[in-house]
Chain A
């Protein structure tokens, strides 16, 4: 027997949905059901974070260019802690390819510091 609780994020109502023995309860509309099924089957998230920059103190913002399974996010963060980007970069440049196969791309363009 399993019981899980979700809050649907599709609209401001925020239905509290309970899943008990494969029965989905509490959703006010169809989208809630779809949301819960997706979350139960394979919850994935876009990862947004930063990486170091070679020779500079400031950070480069990056994101995964696809969704990553939720449980792999922490590993991915640890992996990225070792990455150092080289400037200049353009928004969208691939900075790193993670072990899960997902690319990490820059979310802003950055020139070398002129100072």
Chain B
């Protein structure tokens, strides 16, 4: 069947990962939805075979594929026009051009939900010197290779970066019989959740070297080893601390970047700190009728939060498409002391809102202060950059042109 050509849809959701699935499902309660996914439904969850997903939404620990399948089944039942293997090439206004083996789709829509997720920072983006042999992979690529494609990326592995993906891969590679020499982290604290440090590293006696980085890569055709070094407070390598580690595989878990090439094409304003679209509490971007959710907005720790954001975006895109949505952009949220970023960045100020924020540095016994029309305080035993802080704020505090959030002792 040739299913390409010109068509119309009430809402187009770009991306079929957890954010896009949730958005599509909610939006389908209002109007017809087309879901465009370049790969298969479920997105990155399909390669995250470990458990720990859905504690918040399902009350139990699911694996990535299980979590995804719950939504995929519902999306199929909801009559959503799902197009897998379909990549969006360009967006102009509300006209979308996508390409798949069915042909070129030219879709006119009323509302768009951006849910493209994020991508991994590469070796070059963090400027690791050295040669360019085979055997260097980002953690997500390695995860896909082992868990989905069924090939082993290496035998003796060094992992750079202790974010959750790096930690997961340390365990996964060990289980598959590889030797993980160690996990190296440039920061003085691990980048992932404590639970993952314990269950992925301690369980398997994998050493974690804080304040370390990779300063050289050796090997012509296949990786022969890396040089690691300690770093100083400015995160610069300290001369004399270099150590050569023979290995045939280097895994990089050095950060995720929201993937916003399409958002930029549409003209959506991007927050330089999150590197994602600036959104309000209904997940509407700076362009009317364009909504965004999930890791394309900011990198989340928990998929449950991605689903929740997807539902908000889907619901409001639905309302927008049927003309029951009023665009109001009133207040601004300021990331104050020890706050790296806050999402949403813009407030309509009409309903209660859950603010998501990341702190700059680890602090113990702190107060989170939301100051708007009124002031609201919440105490935290500990805050860490690795763990997103969620705080529910009542609407009456927010009805102000500027709301500021500080985290201080």
Contacts and interface: CB of A to CB of B under 8 A. Distances in A.
Interface string A1-41: 00000110101111000000000000000000000000000
Nearest to B63: A107
B114 to A, nearest CB: 26
A97 interface: no
Contact of B66 (A6, A45, A74, A91): A91
B183 to A, nearest CB: 15
Given A45-B199, A70-B203, A63 B63 contact: yes
A49 B150 contact: no
A94 to B, nearest CB: 15
A59 interface: yes
B194 A61 contact: no
A46 B175 CA distance: 13
Interface string A53-80: 0000111010100000010011001000
Nearest to B66: A107
Contacts of A9: 194-195, 198-199
Contact of A61 (B147, B175, B177, B197): B147
B49 A49 contact: yes
Contacts of B149: 57-59
A3 B97 CA distance: 64
Interface in B193-213: 193-195, 197-199, 202-203
Given A48-B49, A49-B49, A77-B176, A109 B203 contact: no
B175 A108 contact: no
B397 interface: no
Nearest to A5: B202
A13 B362 CA distance: 11
B69 A108 contact: yes
Contact of A91 (B51, B69, B146, B381): B69
Interface string B373-409: 0000000011010010000000000000000000000
A107 B68 CA distance: 10
Interface residues of A, number: 26
Contacts of A58: 148-150
B61 A7 contact: no
A13 B147 contact: no
A48 B61 CA distance: 12
A4 to B, nearest CB: 11
B150 to A, nearest CB: 5
A59 B144 CA distance: 10
A48 B150 contact: no
B175 A49 contact: yes
Nearest to A53: B150
Given A13-B381, A46-B61, A48-B63, A7 B197 contact: yes
Given A7-B202, A12-B194, A49-B175, A63 B69 contact: no
Given A12-B382, A50-B49, A52-B150, A77 B175 contact: yes
Contacts of A14: 194
B363 to A, nearest CB: 12
B194 A107 contact: no
Contact of A7 (B63, B147, B176, B194): B194
A12 B384 CA distance: 8
Given A9-B195, A58-B149, A58-B150, A108 B202 contact: no
B107 to A, nearest CB: 25
Contacts of B61: 46
A13 B383 CA distance: 8
Contact of B51 (A11, A12, A48, A109): A48
B297 to A, nearest CB: 23
Contacts of B198: 6-7, 9
A56 to B, nearest CB: 9
Interface of A: 6-7, 9, 11-14, 45-46, 48-50, 52, 57-59, 61, 63, 70, 73-74, 77, 91, 107-109
Interface of B: 46, 49-51, 61, 63-66, 68-69, 146-150, 175-177, 193-195, 197-199, 202-203, 381-382, 384, 387
Given A12-B193, A13-B381, A13-B382, 6 more contacts: A9-B194, A12-B194, A12-B381, A12-B387, A59-B146, A61-B147
24 contacts: A7-B194, A7-B198, A9-B194, A9-B195, A9-B198, A12-B194, A12-B381, A12-B382, A12-B387, A48-B49, A48-B63, A49-B175, A52-B150, A58-B148, A63-B51, A63-B63, A70-B203, A77-B175, A77-B176, A91-B66, A107-B49, A108-B66, A108-B68, A108-B69
Going nearest first, the 9 A-B pairs with the smallest beta carbon separation are A108-B65, A14-B194, A61-B49, A9-B195, A107-B63, A59-B150, A107-B65, A48-B50, A107-B66
